[in-house]
A and B are shown apart, each in its own frame.
Chain A
Amino acid sequence: MEWMAWTPTVAYFFSAVGVMLLGMTIWQIVSPSIPRRGFLPLVTTRGDRLFLGLLSAAYISLAWTGLTDMNQWYGTAIAFTVLLIVMRWG
């Protein structure tokens, strides 16, 4: 494990991903998601929207890092907002 060079930040990140997967699984069992069409040009389930939201969030964060010199947290905040929008209305 030593060679993996763990840092707390990354550990939290992957724990969050794990919790999210677990949460989505339980949510799916308790109340199965019905595929529907939102503003995205395809029919999606809850899981699809989470994936797309996370992907968009990652791209937005990267664009923030690459294009601006402002604090990274603003970028993260925008990315998180987009994630929520995609989850809710996508």
Chain B
Amino acid sequence: MKPINNKAWLLVLPVVLCVAFSAVIPLMTVVNYSVQDILSPEQKVFVGTEWFKTVLRDPELHGALLRQIIFSATVLAIEIPLGIMLALALPAAGWRSSLALVLLAMPLLIPQNVVGTIWQIYGRTDIGLGGVALHALGTEYNYASNSLHAWLTVVVMDVWHWTPLIALLAFAGLRAIPEAYYQAARIDGASRWAVFRYIQLPKMRGVLLIGLLLRFMDSFMIYTEPFVLTGGGPGNATTFLSQYLTQKAVGQFDLGPAAAFSLVYFLIILLACFVFYTLLQQSQSADQKG
């Protein structure tokens, strides 16, 4: 057991102050905005829960939320298994491993809007390799006018960008397995699948949950990539929650509704965060026991 020491608060204080400055003050402000109609800095009317009423019944918001959930579920369903497969295929050590790791991690270091730019160029049917190739295969691919194609492009883009994170995490989990486990499995004549199911997967559980948490949250706030690609279009096919919120707050300067929506968004994140965090803690305490 860790010793109890309330002086440890002194060590935590700088972090608390830093984060509080950037988190608590803005949050209070958002709450203030959400209950007022701000016509100008001097003219403010208290409207109670009106904005929440408007926002919660806004069909556009429901659409954005639905698209968001489908999008997040889709990319998670692709990225997690794909990342695990990649991690299993990576060489364990040596220069091949280093090279593969560096190549794999490359997309992670590319700014979000450059990711958008890369795919914007890559997917174009006149000058982009991907777009031209798809046309050569006889499809009518065009992300600028076809909603489904735009959506698929954003999914592929996200998979391309973030699968490496899952792969790196899973790879790290795999490296932490002592060689003795594999030897024991070999002696028992365990199949490849059994090794994966009963040795590798349980050992990766912790890191995979972290990967799942990070990916869920980050995909849930995706903004830049679809913004650069098509600006949320065509129509609103790739308008996800953050995009919608930014349009409201910055584009139309509807402070009240934007703030109310921010708070709803924040509550969704808070609940999801709590669920994942609880799962993570349970898996960690299970690790320590077994």
Do A and B interact directly, with beta carbons closer than 8 Å? yes
Contacts of B46 in A (CB 8 A): 7, 9
A42 touches B278 (CB 8 A): yes
A62 touches B31 (CB 8 A): no
Q: Which residues 234-290 of B sit at the A interface, judged by CB distance below 8 A?
A: 264, 267, 270-271, 274, 278, 282
For chain A, the count of residues having a C-beta within 8 Å of the partner chain is 20
Taken together as a complex, chains A and B put the C-alpha atoms of A72 and B271 apart, in Å, by 23
Taken together as a complex, chains A and B put the C-alpha atoms of A52 and B46 apart, in Å, by 29
State which of B47-55, B173-181, B208-216 sits at the interface with chain A.
B47-55
A55 touches B56 (CB 8 A): no
B274's nearest neighbour on chain A, judged by CB, is A55
Contacts of B53 in A (CB 8 A): 65-66
The answer to whether A39 has its CB under 8 Å from any CB of chain B is no
B38 touches A55 (CB 8 A): no
A14 touches B28 (CB 8 A): yes
B41 touches A4 (CB 8 A): no
The answer to whether B191 has its CB under 8 Å from any CB of chain A is no
A7 touches B41 (CB 8 A): no
Knowing A2-B41, A10-B31, the reply to whether A58 touches B56 (Cβ < 8 A) is no
The answer to whether A89 has its CB under 8 Å from any CB of chain B is no
B56 touches A62 (CB 8 A): yes
Contacts of B29 in A (CB 8 A): 3-5
Contacts of A51 in B (CB 8 A): 274
B35 touches A9 (CB 8 A): yes
A66 touches B56 (CB 8 A): yes
A52 shortest CB reach to chain B, Å: 8
Knowing A13-B31, A14-B28, the reply to whether A55 touches B271 (Cβ < 8 A) is yes
In this complex, the member of B25, B28, B271 whose beta carbon has the largest number of chain A beta carbons within 10 angstroms is B28
Q: Which residues of A contact B (CB under 8 A)?
A: 2-7, 9-10, 13-14, 42, 51-52, 55, 58-59, 62, 65-66, 72
5 smallest beta-carbon distances between A and B, as pairs: A66-B56, A5-B32, A65-B52, A4-B29, A10-B32
